Structure 1
Amino acid sequence: MIEAAMIWNEPNNKSHWDPEIDPGWARFAEMACLAGQAIHSANPRLPRVLGGMSPIDPCFLRNLEERGVLEQVDAVAVHGFPLDWNLWCIDEWPTKLAEIQRATSLPVWVSEVGVSSFGAEEVQAWGVDRTASLLKGRAPRIHWYSLYDLPRAWPATTRHREAEGSSYYRHFYMGLLREDGTPKQALDRFGDHTPAMGICQWFHFEDHRLDEGVAWLKRLNVRHLRTGLSWADSFRPNALAWFDRQMTALQDFDVTVTFCFTPEHLGIMPHHTSAPREPERFAEFCASMIERYAPTVAGTEHPINRVAVA
C-alpha cells in the first residue's frame, strides 16, 4: 500500500517551515536525519523521499547534503507551479529538473505540479497536456496537484494570504474537480496521461471527500497517489481511527505518505511550521506510522528508480 515515505513538505517554503526559527535549516536537517533513520529502522526496504522543494533550488539541496540529510533519503523531490506562483516559464520544466539532477545522484521526483483554473478552465486543461509532454519519462514519479479544489471555507496552508494579489486565491482552484465534486475541463485531459502521472491529494482530518475521491482516482486509472499523515493531527481525539480509515480506503494505490506539520504544543513556537523542540518526537511518529501501515515484507520491490510510462 505504501510505496514511499516523504519527510516533510516544502521545507524551503516559509508556509511549511519557519526560516526565522531555523534560518540555516540546521534544525530541519537534524530532524530529517533522525526521521530517515527511524523510517529505515522500521522498514529498510521502504524508499525515503526528501520533501519537495519549493522553490526549486540546488543551493538548498547542497546545504542539506553538507548536513548529512541526503545520506538518510533515497530520493529528493521538487514542486513547481510556473503558471501560478513561480517566476519561470512552464517550458523551463526540463531545465529546472536538470538543475537538481546535476546536484545529486539520487532520483528526483516531481511530487507536486499543477495549474489552477483561477483565470480560465481552458488554461488548466492546456496546462495538463503541456506538463505531461514536458515531464513524462523524465522523473520516476509525477504527482499532479490536485484532485479537488480546496473548499473555500477552509484556509489554505500558507502565510501569504492577500499580501500577494491573486496568489492566495489560486490555492482554491488547483483541482481537476470543483469543490462540489463536479468535473472541470482538465479532468478528461488528465485521464489521457495516467497511470504515468499520479495525483497529490491532501485528505484533511475526517475529510468528507475521501470515499468519493477514491472512486474518482480509480475511474481516472490513477496508480500513484501522494497524501499526508499529519503529525499535528495525531494528537486529535480519534486520530488513529481516522488514519486507519484513510489508509484502508487508499489500499489499492501505490501511496507516497508525507509526514509533516508540527503540533503546536511541541514547537519552539506554537505553529505547524515551527521546528520542534525535540526532533526525536517527529522521528518516533514517522516510525510508528511505518510500523502500522508499511511493515517489512520479505521480497518487497524497491520502486525508487522506476520511471512511470504511459
Structure 2
Amino acid sequence: MIEAAMIWNEPNNKSHWDPEIDPDWSRFAHMAKLAADAIRTINPRLSRVLGGISPIDPAFMTLMKDYGVLDHVDAVAAHGFPLDWNLWQIHEWPQKLDELRAVTDLPIWVSEVGVSSFGAEEVQLWGLKRTAELLKGTAERIQWYSLYDLPHTWEVTTRHKEAEGSSYYRHFYMGLLREDGSPKLALDEFARQTPDVGLVQWFHFEDPRLDEAVSWMKRLGVTYLRTGLSWADRFRPNALEWFDRQMKALEDFEVTITFCFTPEHRGLAPHHTSAPIVPEEFAEFCAEMTARYAPASATSIDRAGNRQPFSSSSRRPAPTIAPSHPRE
C-alpha cells in the first residue's frame, strides 16, 4: 500500500522550514539523513524521497548533495505552480527538471503540481492539460494538487504573504472540487489523465472529508496518492486511532506518505517549521510510522497482492497539549 516515504515537505520553503533557525540547512540535512536511515532500518525496500523542493532550486539540491543527503535517499522531488506563484512560465517545466538532472542522477518526482481556479476555472482546465503534456514521460511520478479546495474557515500558514509571485490566497482554490464538494471544469479532464497522473490530498486531524475523498479518488481512477502523517499530530489524544483510520481508508492506493511538521514543544522555536531540539526524535517518528504501516514483511506481501492487517502495538509518547499546525 505504501510505495514511498517522503522526508519533510518543501524544506527550502520558509513556510515549511525556518531558515532563521537553520540558515545553512545543516540541521535539516542531519535530520533528513537520520530519518532516511531509520526508515531503511525498518524496511529496506521502501523508497525514500527527499521532500519536494519549492521553489525548484538546483543550488539547494547541490547543497543537499554536498551534505550527503542524496546518498541516503532513492529519489528527489520538486513542486511547481507556474500559473499561480512561481516566477517562471509553465512551458519551462522541462527546463526546470533538466536543471535538477544536472546536479543529481536520482529519479525526479514532481510530487506536487497544480493550478488554482481563482481567476477562472477555464485557466485551471487549460493548466491541467498543458501540465500533463509537459510532464508525462519526463518525471518518475506526477501528482496533482489537489482534490479539494481548502475551506475558507481554515488558516493557511505562510511566511511569504504576497511576496512570492501571485498572492497566496490562490491556495484556497487549488482543488478539482469546490469546498462544498461540487466538481469544477477540470475534474473530467483529470480523470482522463489518470492513472498516469496521481493526486495529492492532505487530510487534517480527524478530517471529515476522508471517506468522501476515497470515493471520489476511486471514481476518478486514481492509483497513486500522496498524503501526510504529522509528527505534531502524533502528540494529540487518539492520534494512533486517527492514523489507523486514515491509512486503512487509503489501503487501495499506492501511497507516498510524507513525514513532517515539528511539534511546538519539541522545536527550537515553538512552531511547526522549526528544526527539532533532538533530531533523532523525528527519525524515531518516521521509524514508528514505517513499522506500523509499511513493515518489510507487509510490503513483500502487498506486492504479491495480499494485504497485511495493521498492528495495534506501538509505543505512544506521553500525552501533551496538542500543538497548532498548518492545515495543508
TM-score bracket for the superposition, by shorter chain length = over 0.9
Matched, 1:172 2:178: no
Matched, 1:118 2:118: yes
- Aligned residue for 1:192, secondary structure, equals helix
Q: Partners of 2:5 and 2:249 in 1: how far apart?
A: 18
Q: Partners of 2:42 and 2:164 in 1: how far apart?
A: 42
Alpha-carbon offset, residue 100 of structure 1: 0.6
Alpha-carbon offset, residue 102 of structure 1: 1.8
Quote the residue 1:201 is aligned against: 201
Quote the residue 1:145 is aligned against: 145
Alpha-carbon offset, residue 201 of structure 1: 0.5
Contact 2:108 2:139 in 1 (8 A): yes
- CA deviation vs aligned residue, 1:127-180 (integer Å, no higher than 9, x gap): 110000000011111000000001111111322346669622101000000011
Q: Spell out the pairing of 1:1-310 with structure 2 (5 A cutoff).
A: 1-161=1-161, 167-297=167-297, 298=300
- Aligned residue for 2:193, secondary structure, equals coil
Q: Partners of 1:299 and 1:40 in 2: how far apart?
A: 18
Contact 1:230 1:259 in 2 (8 A): yes
Q: Partners of 2:247 and 2:291 in 1: how far apart?
A: 13
Quote the residue 1:304 is aligned against: none
- Aligned residue for 2:296, secondary structure, equals coil
Q: Partners of 1:6 and 1:35 in 2: how far apart?
A: 10
Counterpart AA for 2:120 = A
Contact 2:110 2:141 in 1 (8 A): yes
Gapped regions of structure 2 (runs ≥ 5): 304-328
Query: Is the alpha carbon distance of 1:85 and 1:166 closer, same or farther for their aligned partners in structure 2, counting shifts above 3 Å?
Result: closer
Contact 1:45 1:300 in 2 (8 A): no
Aligned alpha-carbon RMSD (Å): 1.2
Counterpart AA for 2:51 = G
Q: Partners of 1:14 and 1:163 in 2: how far apart?
A: 12
Contact 2:86 2:164 in 1 (8 A): no
- Aligned residue for 2:225, secondary structure, equals strand
Q: Partners of 2:190 and 2:227 in 1: how far apart?
A: 18
Q: Partners of 1:90 and 1:220 in 2: how far apart?
A: 25
- Aligned residue for 2:268, secondary structure, equals coil
Q: Partners of 2:154 and 2:72 in 1: how far apart?
A: 35
- Aligned residue for 1:153, secondary structure, equals coil
Gapped regions of structure 1 (runs ≥ 5): 302-310
Counterpart AA for 2:258 = T
Counterpart AA for 2:249 = A
Contact 2:147 2:200 in 1 (8 A): yes
Q: Partners of 2:236 and 2:292 in 1: how far apart?
A: 18
Alpha-carbon offset, residue 299 of structure 1: 7.3
Residue identity (%) = 73
Moved more, 175-184 or 151-160: 151-160
Counterpart AA for 2:80 = G
Query: Is the alpha carbon distance of 1:182 and 1:80 closer, same or farther for their aligned partners in structure 2, counting shifts above 3 Å?
Result: same
Moved more, 229-238 or 152-161: 152-161
For normalisation by structure 2, the TM-score amounts to 0.90
Across the two proteins, how many residue pairs are aligned to each other? 301
Q: Partners of 1:238 and 1:299 in 2: how far apart?
A: 28
Q: Partners of 2:157 and 2:177 in 1: how far apart?
A: 19
- CA deviation vs aligned residue, 1:183-210 (integer Å, no higher than 9, x gap): 0001011111000000010011100100
- Aligned residue for 2:40, secondary structure, equals helix
Q: Partners of 2:164 and 2:109 in 1: how far apart?
A: 28
For normalisation by structure 1, the TM-score amounts to 0.95
